Amino acid sequence: MLTVHHLNNSRSQRIVWLCEELGIDYRLVKHQRHPETQRSPESLNQVHPLGKAPTIEHAGQSIVESEAIIEYLCHVCGGGRLSRTPASAEYGAYLQWLAYAEGTLFPGLLVDLVYAWTGGGNAALMGFFDVEIAKNHRYIETVLAQRDHLLASGFSAADVNLGWALEFSECRGRLKDFPALRAYLARLRGRDAYRRAIERGGPQDLSVFSAGAAT
């Protein structure tokens, strides 16, 4: 049986959502962030040395990293559904978007948050990342103004990975100038499996990460 470790208001929402999309039978273990530091509790450190969410346990392994977990679940537990294979014309695009959420988009957003939490004071540092954040949002906006999902072939697990990063971006006030991204998020949130994930995982409130958000 698959175990999904879920931390409130966190990336593990992606994995609960993906399990619902794929119709996987899973045991959900809920962990609570420290109310002030927002860090993982000791219970998550006991599952994996990094104490990160998401973490899954399956077939005697404890696995972290959203992207790895997503591919693992699609192929090992989901019969390949919502992923793309090398035989797909969109395999390259799929891999790009799957990696993009954590590899390129999220780091700037994390700097934005930590900058606000630590009181700022280095305009050159944030200036560098502001340019990156804006450039990335313009890029995704252009793609999603042309189609409903990242891939022309339709909804995929890459949308699950990017979706949460954009929810975080929204709480940082970074979606105001991007109507196609807001419409995309509304589409994702309208999916039955997304709603079931919220029901099972608990409501998500990312406003704890909105300190100093762009206005």
Ligand X SMILES: N[C@@H](CCC(=O)N[C@@H](CS)C(=O)NCC(=O)O)C(=O)O
Q: Phi, psi at residue 203, to the nearest 5°?
A: -60, 150
Minimum distance from residue 202 beta carbon to ligand X (Å): 14
Minimum distance from residue 121 beta carbon to ligand X (Å): 24
CB 94 within 8 A of CB 158: yes
**Per-residue interface string for the shown chain with ligand X, residues 64-93, x marking contact by CB under 6 A:** xxx---------------------------
Residue 166 binding ligand X, by CB under 6 A: no
Write the secondary structure of 98-142 as one string of H (helix), E (strand) and C (coil): HHHHHHHHHHHHHHHHHHHHCCCCCHHHHHHHHHHHHHHHHHHHH
Scanning 63-71, 80-88, 141-149, 196-204 for contacts with ligand X by CB under 6 A, the matching segment is 63-71
**Per-residue interface string for the shown chain with ligand X, residues 18-57, x marking contact by CB under 6 A:** ---------------------xx----------xxxx---
Nearest to 10 by CA among 45, 53, 63, 57: 53
Is-cis flag, bond preceding 54, omega within 30?
A: yes
How many residues bind ligand X, per CB under 6 A?
13
Minimum distance from residue 19 beta carbon to ligand X (Å): 15
DSSP 66: H
What does the binding site for ligand X look like in residue numbers (CB under 6 A)?
7, 10-11, 39-40, 51-54, 64-66, 102
